[in-house]
A and B are shown apart, each in its own frame.
Chain A
Amino acid sequence: MRRSAIIASAVALSLALVGCSSAGTSESKDAGKDVQVVSWWAQGSEKAGYEALQKIFKEKKKDFNFVDAAVAGGGGSQAKQKLQADLDAGNPPETFQAHAGAELTDYIKAGQIEDVSALYDKFKLREVFPQSLIERLTVDGKIYSIPSNIHRANVLWYNPEVLKSAGIDPKKVPATIDDWIADMEKVKAAGKVPLTLGMNWTQTQLLETILIADLGAEGYNGLWDGKTDWAGAEVTKALKHFQKIVELAQTDSSADWEPTLNFVMDGKAAYNVMGDWAIAAFTAAKKEMDKDWMWAPVPGTQDVFDFLADSFTLPKGAKNPEGAKAWLEVIGSADGQAQFNLIKGSIPARTDVDTTKFPEYQQKAMEDFKSKTVVSSLAHGAAAPLAVSSAINDAVVKFTQGQGKDVEGLQKDLVNATKSLKK
């Protein structure tokens, strides 16, 4: 009896120990030099651009080890889950990718990221970033991230052959949403799909461009600071436009942006509204601009640059802040921005990068970024905090899945979703 008691207690003890032992994993010797970078650039042109940045970092910052912590998943949905858990556990990476603008509000309010204004002075970024961008990044006088690139969201991609077959001149871009709808009806009559829509944020992105077209840049900006009434008649007009377009569109709410763009590429659909990362998809499919595909600003938004940016942060409590700053320096450097954006298809945030090396679209985009009115994209976290944009996404999908019948309900849901913006 006694012996069995001893064995039992030994077993009990060892089982209890097993439960604890996994915590003590060995740390590498150079842990102090590691720079862990969390991003969602895990495939395609994004990955290639990211690798170009890593190469520069490895050459210029030999004191540090680069640790790639990229997590795949469209729009960063998976990477953000992992990041959220790590930040809540007080185990932040050295730096992480985040959409610049209002999406950072959550991290700022949670006290999870540092003010990097001092780095802007140190790296002399204030002189090279456009003033309008600096304003957009500043929250209560402080800046919390360094952008690596600028994207445009209000771009209409279309297949000239499909338009020709419907009797539309592809060079004549419709000037207003109404003209555009008329063209889409022609495409539908010719037996092709007028427009393709994918998962929630692609639908929100379409809605946001329609809002810009119908409300103008100023009215659209007012939606985010409470000056424009979400319940107002102008919004209703935009929502009715949205309703008509949704009726004409082919929607698959579970599809990412690329499969829906493929319909345009393959000549089965006429239009798709997507950010300018779509170029990478056309390039990968070896399609030529002006022959296989054409682009224009979404009708009615010709004078607007609907902006979003990827940026990197300095989390509070990172183990190696010096390493993080070294990475941020590379991100903000002229060399880093040129190499990265050449490959990714976006444009540099710096204005002093040599533009002649860039392809035609990017040159035009750089010009537009300087000359057009810049507004913040809702679908990509620049205009509103995560909770708001996520509630808007939900309302939009609810509307499109109800076959777009209930404009009144959509407007009510949008008013509810944006309640927290009014202070």
Chain B
Amino acid sequence: MRNLKKWGPPFLLILPSLILIGVFVYGLIIVNFNTSLTDAHTAATSSGNAPTNYTGFSNYVELLSSDAFLFSLRNLLIFTLVFLCGTLLIGFVWAWLLDKPIKGEGIFRSIFLFPMAVSFVASGVVWKWLLSPIEGETATGLNRLFQMVGLDFLQNPWWSDVSVGIVAITIPAIWQLSGYIMALFLAGFRGIPDELREAARVDGASEWQLYKSIIFPQLSPVALSAIIIIGHMSLKSFDLIMSIANQSVYSTKVPAIDMYVFKTTYDYANSAAVGSILLVIVAVLVIPYLIHDTRQRRK
């Protein structure tokens, strides 16, 4: 009875969100997984006009053995790696530069952080023009700029190259999120008390030793959160690719685009299967972090 009095009110307070999340997040994940195990590949099955049967994991087997889907996964891997390395590197360097006392730090901070205020779809419209794949006489965007300043050899097909086209999409992505990573790292730098640095200097540490042994280790939690944030964002990347290329472009296909295309052609089973695969990939990245985080807290 006493326990009920203690736990009752707070539990009641969070109950609505528990129910809503239970139904609309976890419930729908289960429904999605269930759909991915069926043969609902046509409009007839989606409307209930034709029977839907369970086919086990055959959708997954077929997807993972199809060249097209493996190409999407390959693109996703390249995109994630380049996006991660790019934002971490640029964000860190900016934060490091701003960490030294300089004039007008606030202005630089705003400038670097500002692109994040723009949505991927809005910036995608501009980048679509900048990264126009047309070369030569009729070029527009960056290719035209290269042509005007006499750097013709720099003209390239950007995202429409099949082997490395996906890297072109990471340029706007890095542009947009480096500032955010900078803010994270800057907060990390500022979180290290000056006494620590002074103590190290008094002990005769060189500037490099100071960074290597004192500052970098303290920044590792920040770097880990940055990896998680950028990593899961890139795994879900959809809007930026849709607005620069579009769902019909082969060279920039990623699983999220595949999911949309399957859904558009009434292939709900394959669409759901791609969704589940994406969920598993994100989980592989996020769950170790959550475990690590809880352990740290317990300490």
Give complex CA distance A84, B47 in Å: 10
Contact with A along B48-61 (1 / 0, CB 8 A): 01100000000000
Q: Quick check: is B283 within 8 A (CB to CB) of the other chain?
A: no
Cβ–Cβ < 8 Å partners of A110 in chain B: 42-44, 46-47, 49, 266
B188 within 8 A of A: no
B276 within 8 Å of A by Cβ? no
Judge if B267 is at the interface, Cβ distance under 8 Å: yes
Q: How far is the CA of A268 from the CA of B16 in the complex (A)?
A: 62
| Residue pair B244, A8 in contact (C-beta under 8 Å) | no
| Known interface pairs A250-B138, A401-B162; A106-B13 also in contact (CB < 8 Å) | no
| B250 A390 Cβ-Cβ under 8 A | no
Interface of A is mostly: helix
- Asked, given contacts A12-B15, A263-B138, A397-B248, whether A109 binds B265 with beta carbons under 8 Å apart, the answer is no
Number of A-B residue pairs with CB-CB distance less than 8 Å in the complex they form: 124
B149 to chain A, nearest CB (A): 21
A110 to B249, CA, bound (A): 29
Q: How many angstroms between the C-alpha atoms of A212 and B160 in the bound complex?
A: 28
Tell whether A398 is near chain B: CB-to-CB under 8 Å.
yes
Partner of B16, one of A19, A81, A251, A387: A19
Nearest B residue to A87 by beta-carbon distance? B47
Query: Which residues of the other chain, B, contact A81 by a CB distance below 8 angstroms?
Result: 264
A200 touches B248 (CB 8 A): yes
Contact of B5 among A5, A88, A111, A191 (CB under 8 A): A5
Count of chain A residues with Cβ under 8 Å from any Cβ of B? 47
Q: Separation in Å of the B135 CB from the closest CB of chain A?
A: 8
Do B250 and A193 have beta carbons less than 8 Å apart?
no
- Residues of A contacting B20 with CB < 8 Å? 19
Q: How far is the CA of A102 from the CA of B90 in the complex (A)?
A: 52
Q: Which among A7, A11, A15, A253 is the interface contact of B249 at CB below 8 angstroms?
A: A253
Select B248's contact among A8, A19, A199, beta carbons within 8 Å.
A199
Interface string of B194-222 (1 = CB under 8 A from A): 00000000000000000000000000000
CB <8 Å contact, B13 and A88: no
Please report the C-alpha to C-alpha distance between residue A320 and residue B243 in the assembled complex, in whole angstroms: 37
Rounded to whole angstroms, the CA-CA distance of A398 and B132 in the bound complex is 18
CB distance from A393 to the nearest CB of B (A): 6
Q: Indicate which residue in A5, A252, A393, A401 contacts B9 across the interface (CB closer than 8 Å).
A: A5
B residues adjacent to A (C-beta < 8 A): 5, 8-10, 12-13, 15-17, 19-20, 41-44, 46-47, 49-50, 68, 128, 132-134, 136-138, 160-162, 165, 244-246, 248-251, 261, 264-267
Q: A110-B44, A111-B47, A254-B246 are in contact. List 8 more A-B contacts (CB 8 A).
A: A5-B9, A8-B8, A15-B17, A19-B16, A80-B264, A199-B246, A269-B138, A387-B266
A-B contact pairs, 9 of them (CB 8 A): A11-B13, A12-B13, A88-B46, A250-B136, A390-B264, A390-B265, A394-B248, A397-B248, A401-B251
